């Protein structure tokens, strides 16, 4: 098993200045990954060379008029995260109740549908069902 140091620097940390300070400290300390909100991915890439995981909180539904155009709008490498993480503002942190049957899980559906990404789940342990 390979070990990695992760630093969480999402909006719960504070404003961008607070998050930037935490990310900079992570870079200087040699952390392997930083976990941020999707909106911060590009800014984190500008700070330095670190793997960036982003919370995916947009649910599992995307409406588009032209699928080819939508797929082209995925952004360049600088704006894309190295991994996506579900669970924030979802089932993982109990914002949404866990379904009785995991086949109805919005978080798991999101993990299954997104293309060429490493994937992960954020879970707050609130009880035995988690």
Distance separating alpha carbons of residues 40 and 46, to the nearest angstrom: 10
DSSP-H helix ranges across the chain: 16-29, 41-47, 67-72, 106-113
Q: How confident is the model at residue 45 (pLDDT cuts 50, 70, 90)?
A: very high
Per the domain annotation, does 81 fall within a domain?
Answer: yes
- 114-124 pLDDT, tens per residue? 567 788 888 87
Per the domain annotation, does 128 fall within a domain?
Answer: no
Q: How confident is the model at residue 13 (pLDDT cuts 50, 70, 90)?
A: very high
Per the domain annotation, does 51 fall within a domain?
Answer: yes
Per the domain annotation, does 129 fall within a domain?
Answer: no
Per-chain mean pLDDT for the chain: 80
The domain tally of the chain equals 1
Please indicate whether residue 37 or residue 115 has the higher confidence score (pLDDT).
37
- Residue 45: give the domain boundaries: 6-121
Distance separating alpha carbons of residues 47 and 67, to the nearest angstrom: 33
């Amino acid at each position: 098993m390979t070990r990695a140091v992760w630093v969480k620097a999402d909006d719960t940390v504070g404003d961008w200045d607070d998050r930037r300070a935490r990310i900079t400290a992570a870079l200087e300390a040699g952390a392997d990954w930083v976990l941020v909100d999707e909106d911060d991915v590009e800014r984190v890439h500008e700070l330095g060379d670190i793997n960036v995981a982003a919370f995916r909180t947009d649910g599992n539904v995307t409406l588009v008029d032209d699928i080819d155009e939508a797929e082209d709008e995925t952004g360049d490498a600088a704006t894309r995260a190295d991994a996506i993480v579900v669970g924030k503002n979802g089932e993982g942190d109990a914002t949404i109740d866990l379904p009785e049957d995991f086949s109805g899980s919005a978080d798991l559906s999101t993990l299954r549908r997104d293309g060429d990404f490493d994937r992960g789940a954020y879970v707050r342990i609130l009880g035995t069902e988690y």
